[in-house]
Each structure stands twice: as C-alpha cells, then as structure tokens.
C-alpha cells in the first residue's frame, strides 16, 4: 500500500484527466471527487475506481462533448438529461439544483436520465446536509444482483442515500441494496480479507464470505434477503419513472458499461419550518440515545452513519491517502500512453 499526500494525489489525477481530454475546470472537480472519496475512507469508490473511469472516457462510455439539459419541469420537480457525461459532476450539479429549488418550494426533486456511475453516493448526501437540507437520492445500475430466490442477475444493487443535517455532524446513510457493494468486494480481495458476514454465493450455491468466490459467480446477496430484493425493484421503478429514463433491464441491454443510468435527487428544507435550536435539540436527543447503547462484549463502539468521515480524513491527510500499488501503476501507465 502506498500513502500519497492529498495535494500530490489531486495533482496527479488532474494531470491524468487532462491527458484523457478533460477540460481544466471539470478535471479539477473530478480529481477532487476521486481523491477526497479515498481521503474520507471510501476507497472502493475513490482512487480505486479511477483507472476504470479513464477507461470509460477512452471508450466513449463517458462522453466529454455533451452538456446536461433540462427536459421537463413542474413546480419543484425537474427532469434533466445527462447526455452520458461524467456521472460525479452530473450528480453534484443535480443535487445543487435540488437544493436551490427546495429553498423556494420546501421540497424539490431533480431526476436525471442518461447519466453514468456517480461513484460515492454519500458525497451528494453530505453536499445537501452541508447546505442545511435533508436529502434522499438513489440510482439504478446494470443488472448485477439476483432477485431473492433466483440464480441469474435481473436487479441492480441500486444504492440509496439518506442524509440528515445536524450541527454536531450530519447523519448520512449510503448503502447499496446488496449486502456488500462490488467495490467493497474488490477492496477486500486487494487486502486479502474475508468478509465479516456472508456476502453472496459460491459456485456450489452456498453462502460465503469469500469475496473472490462471489466476484467469480457475480451472485451477490440482497441486503435483508427478500427485503433488499424488493427495495431494489422499487428504487429502479421510481428512478425510471421520475426521470423518464432507463430501468435496470434497459441499462443492462445497452452495450456500454453502466451508461444511461437513471438517478433521483430529493432535497427537503425542513429547517425552514422550525427554529434551528429546536431542530438540533430533537436530532441530538435521538443520536445521543443511539450512542448510549451498550456494545456487545468485544464489539466496536456504537456509531451513527457517517460519524467517522472527518476523523478518517484527518488521519489520511496526516499520513497520506492509501492507494493500492496496482491502482497507482495503472494510473502511471495511463500517463505514459502515447
């Protein structure tokens, strides 16, 4: 494992994006996305995904010659076409637009069709929370998860984010509808680790904690078994309906690598209804009640979702951002391509 100073990492990623043909403003934003995701401890959707993102640019899966455009609006609802552009930038801009609309309408929903992988979904939930907004956002994916009781993948693991702003630190739930996202499995393989719980099936159809076996079969386990399966379908139908875009079956039929995704960004300006002190008091009481839980013997301290982001970022800022040597070699190889 390499430990690279954050500023050096950002500069390297910017240079790689420049070589890939990305203009300077977008290269700066995208470099921050990948570097900061890893800085904050989400290695599976940070620098680890960067070589794949460069591949998608080279192959035209992520397009650089398009600009998102609004195609429909109704009050606090808007639909945008992402034009198959860079997913992280489309997501940031869509969340910003939802926040803007929610300041006027109280609640707003911006849906996007024809986007690409947005990388770490929690980034956009934190974006809303930092603006004082609660948020609900979700995306569909290509078919990569079997329905409960099935063998072949017909569902996406369709991540969802729930974010709640709080002066003492936002609560941000960022979860796929599979027990473990594929990125988490890849990181576990890189680190030579087994999963802490069953995450999918091996070739004999047995539940396993071996990430290599699950990546081989592509039979990941829905979170909550039948519940995750049902939630995945509902999120996919909502994403398709609200964006007038592709559902999982249509995304899967397309030849591109997870292109043409449908995504939804909902911002809720609940702090406009009550005094800030009253809202914070309500939220703090609930969070402190959770944190006062008695841990099981030998267990880790009880934490709320998103609690460790700042601490992880501070640690990685001091020691350097962890980057797998194999990933760094791929980035360097891109820099030397003719």
Q: What is the pLDDT of residue 258?
A: 83
The DSSP output letter for 34 is H
pLDDT at residue number 88: 98
pLDDT at 276: 81
Q: Whose CA is closest to 11, among 28, 33, 26?
A: 28
- pLDDT of 134 reads 97
Instruction: Specify the pTM.
Output: 0.95
Q: Can you spell out the DSSP letters for 248-265?
A: HHHHHHSSSSS-SEEEEE
Cβ neighbours of residue 86 under 8 Å, at least 6 residues apart? 22, 26, 30, 62, 64, 116
45 labelled catalytic: yes
Positions in the chain whose pLDDT score sits under 70: none
First vs last C-alpha separation in the chain = 28
Question: 45, 105, 117, 334: which is the annotated catalytic residue?
Answer: 45
Cα angle 101-103-105, degrees, rounded to a multiple of 5: 65
| CA proximity to 165, closest of 122, 121, 123, 131 | 131
Secondary structure letter of residue 43 according to DSSP: G
Specify the pLDDT at position 142: 95
Residue 111 and residue 79 in contact, taking contact as beta carbons nearer than 8 Å: yes
Q: pLDDT at position 300, please?
A: 87
Token pair for 199:
């995450």
């Amino acid at each position: 494992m390499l430990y690279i100073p954050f500023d050096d990492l950002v500069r390297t990623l910017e240079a790689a994006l420049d070589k890939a043909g990305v203009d300077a403003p977008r290269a700066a934003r995208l470099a921050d996305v990948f570097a900061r995701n890893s800085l904050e401890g989400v290695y599976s959707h940070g620098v680890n995904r960067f070589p794949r993102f460069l591949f998608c640019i080279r192959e035209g899966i992520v397009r650089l010659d398009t600009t998102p455009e609004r195609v429909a609006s109704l009050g606090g609802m808007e639909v945008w076409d992402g034009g198959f552009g860079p997913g992280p930038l489309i997501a940031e801009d869509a969340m910003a637009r939802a926040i803007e609309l929610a300041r006027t309408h109280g609640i707003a929903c911006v849906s996007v069709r024809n986007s690409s992988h947005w990388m770490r979904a929690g980034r956009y939930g934190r974006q809303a929370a930092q603006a004082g907004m609660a948020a609900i956002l979700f995306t569909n994916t290509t078919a990569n998860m079997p329905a409960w009781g099935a063998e072949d993948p017909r569902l996406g693991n369709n991540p969802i984010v729930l974010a709640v702003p709080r002066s003492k630190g936002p609560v941000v739930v960022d979860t796929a509808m599979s027990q473990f996202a594929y990125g988490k499995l890849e990181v576990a393989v890189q680190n030579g680790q087994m999963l802490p719980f069953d995450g999918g099936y091996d070739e004999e159809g047995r539940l396993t904690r071996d990430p290599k076996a699950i990546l081989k079969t592509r039979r990941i386990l829905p979170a909550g078994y039948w519940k995750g399966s049902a939630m995945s379908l509902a999120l996919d139908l909502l994403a398709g309906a609200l964006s007038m875009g592709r559902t999982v079956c249509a995304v899967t039929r397309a030849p591109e690598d997870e292109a043409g995704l449908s995504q939804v960004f909902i911002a809720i300006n609940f702090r406009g209804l009550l005094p800030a002190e009253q809202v914070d008091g309500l939220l703090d009481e609930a969070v402190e009640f959770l944190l006062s839980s008695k841990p099981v013997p030998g267990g880790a301290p009880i934490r709320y979702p998103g609690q460790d982001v700042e601490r992880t970022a501070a640690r990685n800022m001091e020691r350097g951002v962890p980057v797998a040597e194999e990933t760094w070699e791929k980035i360097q190889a891109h820099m030397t391509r003719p």
